[in-house]
Amino acid sequence: MAWLRSVLSEEEEEKLEPLFRDVQGAVALSGLVLTAWALGRALSVAIVKTLLAERAQGAHPWPRCPVCGTGLESKGFQPRQVLTLLGMIGWRRRVGRCPQRCAIGQTVPFDEALGLSTGQKTSAEVHAMGCALAVFVPFAVAGRLLGLLTSVEVSPAGIWHWVQQAGTRAMQQLEGELQALAQGHSPVAERLESDVARLPLLVGGDGGHGTVSSPPRNPSGQDRVARGQSGDSGSAGLAYDPQTQEGRALAPASSGRCEGQCSAVSGAA
């Protein structure tokens, strides 16, 4: 554990000692897990804070002033803190300004390297988890669940704001992709992990919409049936049976509207 000692200061180690004693003193399994969880979080915070402090000391090139073109200069270290999935984490980093006093505000290359925008108070992984919860439950419940799962307390209004930001980004991305498509640039296919690519698969082209349902289990396993409804004449698909290890192409409809085109894939549960 030499690497651990290299990133933890004596002060940090002393802070972790009581938490480690809590773990040693826990009797019930749930107590053991919860105290170990608390120790793990505190240890993670200490590691991240130490690494941030070290990296903030490194050289980060200063950009030029967008107004006068003069190279920005450091005005010294200033504190920064962000709410993360581990809790609040703070560090100090160099802040730069234009020596000609142009009204461009302060520039912080280290924050930019961390992927943080000006004024950002919460880290991206917290945004993602809050938005994911808000997909399924109301904002107030999402905030409560986020607190229970991560100990990160966020207001419902805060999660609502994150969802608005995510929606805006998604729409901008979609509009960009549609514009590219209109200019003849086909979208780039997402890369599949090798494990995923080997899974039994039913692929279908559908100009309308599709549904997937799971009938009750039968003795030989679970059937998954996918039904597609095609709204165009060029739909096609491929059904793969993992028992026979054979696939078969689903011919595209020759003309007109094709409804209820379906195929079944069976596999042992």
Contacting positions for Zn ion (CB under 5 A): 65, 67-68, 98, 100, 102
* Alpha helix (H) residue ranges in 139-221: 139-150, 156-182, 194-197
What are the DSSP E strand ranges found in the chain?
73-84, 87-97, 202-204, 209-213, 222-230, 237-241, 246-250, 258-267
Task: For Zn ion, give the closer residue by CB, 40 or 105.
Answer: 105
Smallest CA-to-CA distance from 51 within 25, 84, 22 is with 84
**In whole angstroms, how close is the CB of 66 to Zn ion at the nearest point?**
8
Give CA–CA dist 96/64, Å, rounded.
10
Give the pair of three-digit tokens for residue 222: 């679970």
Task: For Zn ion, give the closer residue by CB, 109 or 143.
Answer: 109
In this structure, how many other beta carbons lie within 10 angstroms of the beta carbon of residue 175? 10
14: Cβ–Cβ under 8 A, 6 or more apart, which residues? Answer: none
Task: For Zn ion, give the closer residue by CB, 100 or 118.
Answer: 100
DSSP single-letter state for residue 242? T
**In whole angstroms, how close is the CB of 112 to Zn ion at the nearest point?**
18
**In whole angstroms, how close is the CB of 63 to Zn ion at the nearest point?**
11
**In whole angstroms, how close is the CB of 59 to Zn ion at the nearest point?**
22
**Bridge partners (DSSP) listed for residue 92:** 79
Task: For Zn ion, give the closer residue by CB, 65 or 129.
Answer: 65
**In whole angstroms, how close is the CB of 92 to Zn ion at the nearest point?**
25
Task: For Zn ion, give the closer residue by CB, 45 or 108.
Answer: 108
